[in-house]
Structure 1
């Protein structure tokens, strides 16, 4: 399988747009590296699962109210699709409904989308970048809001193959997930109307660098949507876990809302503001039969769910919005 075939439409589109043409020239090599079967030993298994899926196109597609694909197919085909999609477990973002199979993902990502969407500028006709998009659930929802083109980036090849396993049933759509991280984007790209970074910020060693990287993806006046873990507190308050946070070993900075707004302003973003804040519940993040490993309940203190297993404040997530100058 030539993985570049998955991106033929995207690469052609980017090459034909002067704003993206320089990036298009570097992407094939980045895709080759990001989907290297030598580098990622499990990738051939996920590739084979993708190839096993039947070449059928859904006649029912709903990205506005969820992510639903369906159509008149035999029950044996439905069963085969479910069995193959289960080979790609764990499924973390969703949920999805695929020819009658309910992919009950670890996260109720639809709940987050419902909280965030009312605070956004219209996505209709926009070029959108989704940084750290996972398997692309929110990318589909952005397309459902009328986006002109959605590009997700995530360096996990499993998530990339989950995305294309579902896109196999949609036919050509202006939505893709690239196997790269934000550091691989061209400097000062300045092309996107809206950039999302949801669940990435606290994994970055340098929060200021990440804010500048995000700002540099946007055209003048473009909108940044930043969702991250925060703590309660005032200006200047930040939690920097010395060890793990909720059993994650790559959590670096959890600022208070006022602190993060100050950082955004310091990095040159305009009108940074808190859109919504929500304490993560055991119903929103949990173990399911499509994600069999430990989840939020195991990450918290069993005797006090207001604390993580390490004694830190339990996860609170907040969404911030700002514009590029």
Structure 2
């Protein structure tokens, strides 16, 4: 009994203490301001979860710079509304919506097939979509929801698009994969024998777990690309604590209080998007300089497990097995 209570309460305490620490750091530090980025004419980008929040700001800015941006999302009505809004703001914008449900491996494969049929290059992939603090549940493929959406769906998407990304990059103009992670990874650990959180479910632990998995994947991918000499880099970005709908599954009284606090203390979606855009577009992060973990415009060190090469490899191989990609 005590063990079960500890398993549920400890992740909650750890995550909220970390959140308080990050929020205080945000309040007493200057938010990164995105420098002027070069034009992106001729480049193609995919942004998952680009219909609202941080993702929408990423799409909007890339479109303003001339990139052809594809929003991957599960809500068609919301996606098409985002496309219309951006095109009304920038008459020359090249933005489109394509259906993508990261909770469904079949949907991910269908999305990639539809993209390939357009015979386009792919210069930038921003794995931004995410869920947080969902009640316990499984996807149609049998995976825990945080693990499936935040990590495994993006793993499959990136894997299926790797050849296109590699072929679209060239020396001096690398393609880039940007994985939107979270500081929540700092209070987690990878349980390779229980990736689906079946032994003892905690929504807080499952969210943190999925974000650490995402960071491990991002780091291992970058190393593999470097070893292969491919014109493609991979990095992870912590956008900070941002006023978005991500927190809607919090305990209701806390969620109501948070909606007021968020307007006053959290960063705006545009501020949260700044480091993501910098990682995706900046000439300063060309080639080997593009890897790592970024927060508030700076490359940061993080917890030791995130840089454990054996853990990275084990998760990578396990993910390939789960997806039938061996």
- With the shorter chain as reference, the TM-score category is 0.3 to 0.5
- Give the greater-gyration-radius structure (CA): 1
TM-score (norm 2): 0.41
The answer to which structure has the higher helix fraction is: 2
TM-score (norm 1): 0.42
> Which structure is higher in RCO with an 8 Å CA cutoff and minimum separation 6?
2
The answer to which structure has the higher strand fraction is: 1
